[in-house]
Amino acid sequence: MNEISKIPKHVAVIMDGNGRWAKRQGLPRIKGHEEGVNRVEEITRIADKWGVRYLTLYAFSKENWKRPADEVGFLMGLLAQFLDTKLKIMLENNVIFKVIGESSDLPSIIQKKLDTWIEKTKSNTGLTLTIAFSYSSRFEIARACRQLAQKAVDGKVKPSEITEDVFAHELYTADLPDPDLLIRTSGEMRVSNFLLWQLSYAELYVTETLWPDFREAQFREALEEYTKRDRRFGLTESQTGVEA
Protein backbone atom coordinates (compact mmCIF):
# COMPACT_ATOMS: atom_id res chain seq x y z
CA MET A 1 0.00 0.00 0.00
CA ASN A 2 1.31 3.47 -0.89
CA GLU A 3 2.11 6.05 1.73
CA ILE A 4 -0.26 8.97 2.20
CA SER A 5 2.32 11.73 2.32
CA LYS A 6 -0.04 14.66 1.87
CA ILE A 7 -3.21 14.81 3.93
CA PRO A 8 -5.85 17.23 2.62
CA LYS A 9 -6.92 19.68 5.31
CA HIS A 10 -10.50 19.78 4.05
CA VAL A 11 -12.30 16.88 2.36
CA ALA A 12 -15.80 17.33 0.92
CA VAL A 13 -17.92 14.34 -0.08
CA ILE A 14 -20.96 13.88 -2.33
CA MET A 15 -22.42 10.73 -0.79
CA ASP A 16 -24.18 9.21 -3.78
CA GLY A 17 -25.48 5.75 -4.68
CA ASN A 18 -27.57 4.72 -1.67
CA GLY A 19 -30.57 3.90 -3.87
CA ARG A 20 -28.52 1.85 -6.34
CA TRP A 21 -26.82 -0.02 -3.50
CA ALA A 22 -30.21 -1.03 -2.09
CA LYS A 23 -31.56 -1.99 -5.52
CA ARG A 24 -28.58 -4.27 -6.16
CA GLN A 25 -29.35 -6.11 -2.94
CA GLY A 26 -33.05 -6.33 -3.77
CA LEU A 27 -33.88 -3.97 -0.89
CA PRO A 28 -36.05 -0.83 -0.75
CA ARG A 29 -34.14 2.47 -1.36
CA ILE A 30 -34.49 3.49 2.27
CA LYS A 31 -32.26 0.59 3.32
CA GLY A 32 -29.48 2.21 1.28
CA HIS A 33 -29.92 5.46 3.19
CA GLU A 34 -29.87 3.56 6.47
CA GLU A 35 -26.55 1.96 5.56
CA GLY A 36 -25.33 5.35 4.27
CA VAL A 37 -25.76 6.89 7.71
CA ASN A 38 -23.50 4.22 9.22
CA ARG A 39 -20.77 5.33 6.82
CA VAL A 40 -21.09 8.94 8.01
CA GLU A 41 -19.95 8.06 11.52
CA GLU A 42 -17.26 5.69 10.24
CA ILE A 43 -15.77 8.15 7.75
CA THR A 44 -15.74 10.92 10.36
CA ARG A 45 -13.71 8.70 12.70
CA ILE A 46 -11.27 7.66 9.96
CA ALA A 47 -10.80 11.20 8.65
CA ASP A 48 -10.00 12.35 12.16
CA LYS A 49 -7.55 9.47 12.68
CA TRP A 50 -5.66 10.46 9.51
CA GLY A 51 -5.44 14.13 10.41
CA VAL A 52 -8.08 15.61 8.09
CA ARG A 53 -9.25 18.76 9.89
CA TYR A 54 -12.50 19.51 8.03
CA LEU A 55 -14.98 17.03 6.59
CA THR A 56 -18.02 18.36 4.72
CA LEU A 57 -20.77 15.95 3.66
CA TYR A 58 -23.61 16.60 1.21
CA ALA A 59 -26.58 14.89 2.88
CA PHE A 60 -29.63 16.58 1.38
CA SER A 61 -29.97 19.13 -1.40
CA LYS A 62 -32.72 21.68 -1.89
CA GLU A 63 -33.69 19.64 -4.98
CA ASN A 64 -34.06 16.48 -2.83
CA TRP A 65 -37.30 17.90 -1.36
CA LYS A 66 -38.90 16.91 -4.70
CA ARG A 67 -38.30 13.19 -4.06
CA PRO A 68 -41.32 11.04 -3.13
CA ALA A 69 -42.78 12.21 0.20
CA ASP A 70 -42.20 8.86 1.91
CA GLU A 71 -38.48 8.89 1.02
CA VAL A 72 -38.11 12.48 2.24
CA GLY A 73 -39.94 11.57 5.44
CA PHE A 74 -37.67 8.59 5.96
CA LEU A 75 -34.55 10.70 5.41
CA MET A 76 -35.78 13.25 7.96
CA GLY A 77 -36.41 10.42 10.42
CA LEU A 78 -32.91 9.07 9.85
CA LEU A 79 -31.46 12.50 10.40
CA ALA A 80 -33.39 12.91 13.65
CA GLN A 81 -32.23 9.48 14.81
CA PHE A 82 -28.63 10.28 13.87
CA LEU A 83 -28.76 13.52 15.86
CA ASP A 84 -30.35 11.76 18.85
CA THR A 85 -27.90 8.90 19.03
CA LYS A 86 -24.53 10.23 17.85
CA LEU A 87 -24.01 13.41 19.87
CA LYS A 88 -22.31 11.59 22.74
CA ILE A 89 -19.73 9.96 20.48
CA MET A 90 -19.09 13.28 18.70
CA LEU A 91 -18.44 14.95 22.03
CA GLU A 92 -16.14 12.12 23.09
CA ASN A 93 -14.24 12.47 19.82
CA ASN A 94 -13.83 16.24 20.18
CA VAL A 95 -15.70 16.89 16.90
CA ILE A 96 -17.03 20.37 16.11
CA PHE A 97 -20.39 20.08 14.36
CA LYS A 98 -21.60 22.59 11.77
CA VAL A 99 -24.43 22.77 9.27
CA ILE A 100 -24.62 24.51 5.90
CA GLY A 101 -27.76 25.07 3.86
CA GLU A 102 -31.21 26.48 4.56
CA SER A 103 -31.83 24.82 7.91
CA SER A 104 -35.02 26.87 8.20
CA ASP A 105 -36.48 24.54 5.51
CA LEU A 106 -36.14 21.60 7.93
CA PRO A 107 -38.83 20.53 10.43
CA SER A 108 -38.52 22.67 13.57
CA ILE A 109 -37.79 19.65 15.77
CA ILE A 110 -34.73 18.89 13.61
CA GLN A 111 -33.64 22.53 13.65
CA LYS A 112 -33.66 22.39 17.46
CA LYS A 113 -31.57 19.21 17.48
CA LEU A 114 -29.08 20.77 15.06
CA ASP A 115 -28.80 23.87 17.24
CA THR A 116 -28.09 21.67 20.27
CA TRP A 117 -25.31 19.86 18.42
CA ILE A 118 -23.75 23.08 17.19
CA GLU A 119 -23.90 24.60 20.67
CA LYS A 120 -22.57 21.55 22.56
CA THR A 121 -19.67 20.93 20.21
CA LYS A 122 -18.60 24.52 19.54
CA SER A 123 -15.78 24.52 22.12
CA ASN A 124 -14.32 21.26 20.84
CA THR A 125 -10.95 21.42 19.11
CA GLY A 126 -10.91 18.35 16.84
CA LEU A 127 -12.21 17.69 13.34
CA THR A 128 -14.94 20.01 12.05
CA LEU A 129 -17.79 17.92 10.63
CA THR A 130 -20.07 20.03 8.44
CA ILE A 131 -23.22 18.50 7.03
CA ALA A 132 -25.09 20.12 4.14
CA PHE A 133 -28.87 19.92 4.58
CA SER A 134 -31.30 21.59 2.20
CA TYR A 135 -28.21 22.93 0.48
CA SER A 136 -27.97 24.46 -3.00
CA SER A 137 -24.82 26.25 -4.08
CA ARG A 138 -26.61 28.56 -6.52
CA PHE A 139 -29.07 29.51 -3.79
CA GLU A 140 -26.12 30.16 -1.45
CA ILE A 141 -24.44 32.43 -4.02
CA ALA A 142 -27.67 34.34 -4.78
CA ARG A 143 -28.24 34.70 -1.01
CA ALA A 144 -24.73 36.13 -0.58
CA CYS A 145 -25.44 38.65 -3.37
CA ARG A 146 -28.72 39.65 -1.69
CA GLN A 147 -26.96 40.15 1.63
CA LEU A 148 -24.22 42.29 0.08
CA ALA A 149 -26.74 44.33 -1.93
CA GLN A 150 -28.64 45.02 1.29
CA LYS A 151 -25.40 46.06 3.03
CA ALA A 152 -24.67 48.41 0.13
CA VAL A 153 -28.16 49.93 0.37
CA ASP A 154 -27.64 50.36 4.13
CA GLY A 155 -24.30 52.06 3.51
CA LYS A 156 -22.34 49.30 5.29
CA VAL A 157 -20.25 48.36 2.26
CA LYS A 158 -19.25 50.15 -0.94
CA PRO A 159 -19.49 48.19 -4.23
CA SER A 160 -15.77 48.94 -4.79
CA GLU A 161 -14.97 47.15 -1.51
CA ILE A 162 -16.54 43.85 -2.60
CA THR A 163 -13.59 41.52 -3.11
CA GLU A 164 -13.50 37.71 -3.31
CA ASP A 165 -12.81 37.57 0.45
CA VAL A 166 -15.70 39.89 1.28
CA PHE A 167 -18.00 37.78 -0.90
CA ALA A 168 -16.81 34.50 0.64
CA HIS A 169 -17.73 35.86 4.08
CA GLU A 170 -21.37 36.00 3.03
CA LEU A 171 -21.47 32.27 2.21
CA TYR A 172 -22.62 29.56 4.64
CA THR A 173 -18.99 28.42 4.67
CA ALA A 174 -17.58 31.78 5.85
CA ASP A 175 -15.59 30.16 8.66
CA LEU A 176 -14.37 27.12 6.71
CA PRO A 177 -11.31 26.88 4.45
CA ASP A 178 -11.98 25.82 0.85
CA PRO A 179 -12.01 22.04 0.26
CA ASP A 180 -8.73 20.54 -0.98
CA LEU A 181 -10.35 17.32 -2.17
CA LEU A 182 -13.86 16.52 -3.39
CA ILE A 183 -14.84 12.86 -3.35
CA ARG A 184 -17.93 11.73 -5.24
CA THR A 185 -19.13 8.16 -4.90
CA SER A 186 -21.11 6.08 -7.43
CA GLY A 187 -19.33 7.25 -10.57
CA GLU A 188 -21.29 10.33 -11.65
CA MET A 189 -19.01 12.99 -13.16
CA ARG A 190 -20.76 16.08 -11.87
CA VAL A 191 -20.77 18.43 -8.88
CA SER A 192 -24.57 18.64 -8.52
CA ASN A 193 -24.86 22.19 -7.18
CA PHE A 194 -22.41 21.53 -4.31
CA LEU A 195 -19.90 24.19 -3.15
CA LEU A 196 -19.49 25.71 -6.62
CA TRP A 197 -17.54 28.73 -5.35
CA GLN A 198 -15.55 26.85 -2.73
CA LEU A 199 -14.41 24.00 -5.02
CA SER A 200 -12.54 26.32 -7.43
CA TYR A 201 -9.14 24.73 -6.73
CA ALA A 202 -10.22 21.40 -5.21
CA GLU A 203 -8.89 18.14 -6.60
CA LEU A 204 -11.76 15.98 -7.85
CA TYR A 205 -11.92 12.25 -7.16
CA VAL A 206 -14.78 10.14 -8.50
CA THR A 207 -15.10 6.48 -7.55
CA GLU A 208 -17.53 3.85 -8.83
CA THR A 209 -17.98 2.63 -5.25
CA LEU A 210 -21.49 3.32 -3.96
CA TRP A 211 -21.66 5.34 -0.74
CA PRO A 212 -22.77 2.44 1.52
CA ASP A 213 -19.65 0.52 0.34
CA PHE A 214 -17.28 3.46 0.90
CA ARG A 215 -15.17 2.32 3.83
CA GLU A 216 -11.64 2.81 5.15
CA ALA A 217 -9.91 1.11 2.17
CA GLN A 218 -11.84 3.20 -0.37
CA PHE A 219 -11.17 6.41 1.55
CA ARG A 220 -7.50 5.50 1.67
CA GLU A 221 -7.46 5.07 -2.14
CA ALA A 222 -8.89 8.57 -2.52
CA LEU A 223 -6.20 10.02 -0.26
CA GLU A 224 -3.46 8.10 -2.09
CA GLU A 225 -4.71 9.57 -5.36
CA TYR A 226 -4.70 13.06 -3.81
CA THR A 227 -1.09 12.52 -2.71
CA LYS A 228 -0.13 12.06 -6.40
CA ARG A 229 -1.78 15.27 -7.61
CA ASP A 230 0.27 18.42 -8.31
CA ARG A 231 -1.70 21.41 -7.17
CA ARG A 232 -0.60 24.51 -9.03
CA PHE A 233 -3.37 27.04 -8.33
CA GLY A 234 -2.90 28.53 -11.83
CA LEU A 235 0.91 28.77 -11.57
CA THR A 236 3.56 26.94 -13.64
CA GLU A 237 5.45 23.82 -12.54
CA SER A 238 8.65 25.78 -11.94
CA GLN A 239 6.82 28.38 -9.84
CA THR A 240 5.34 25.76 -7.55
CA GLY A 241 8.55 23.69 -7.45
CA VAL A 242 6.67 20.57 -8.60
CA GLU A 243 8.43 19.44 -11.80
CA ALA A 244 6.88 16.54 -13.76
Q: Which of 8, 10, 11, 33 binds ligand FPP (CB under 6 A)?
A: 33
| 131 binding ligand FPP? (CB under 6 A) | yes
| 19 binding ligand FPP? (CB under 6 A) | yes
Distance of CA 155 to the CA centre of its chain: 34
Q: Which of 11, 55, 59, 114 binds ligand FPP (CB under 6 A)?
A: 59
Task: Identify which of residues 172 and 211 has a Cβ nearer to ligand FPP in the complex.
Answer: 211
Task: Identify which of residues 16 and 140 has a Cβ nearer to ligand FPP in the complex.
Answer: 16
Q: How many residues bind ligand FPP (CB under 6 A)?
A: 19
CA geometry: angle 235, 236, 241, nearest 5 deg: 100
In 3D space, the residue among 144, 146, 166 whose CA is nearest the CA of residue 157 turns out to be: 166
| Alpha-carbon span 167 to 160, nearest angstrom | 12
Closest contact distance (angstroms) between CB of 192 and ligand FPP is 9
Task: Identify which of residues 97 and 205 has a Cβ nearer to ligand FPP in the complex.
Answer: 97
CB atoms within 10 A of CB 95: 24
| 223 binding ligand FPP? (CB under 6 A) | no
Q: Which of 8, 17, 101, 179 binds ligand FPP (CB under 6 A)?
A: 17
CA atoms within 13 A on the CB side of 56: 27
- In Å, what is the CA distance from 203 to each residue of 80, 199, 223, 228? 32, 8, 11, 11
Q: Which residues bind ligand FPP (CB under 6 A)?
A: 15-20, 33, 36-37, 40, 59-60, 64, 78-79, 82, 131, 186, 211
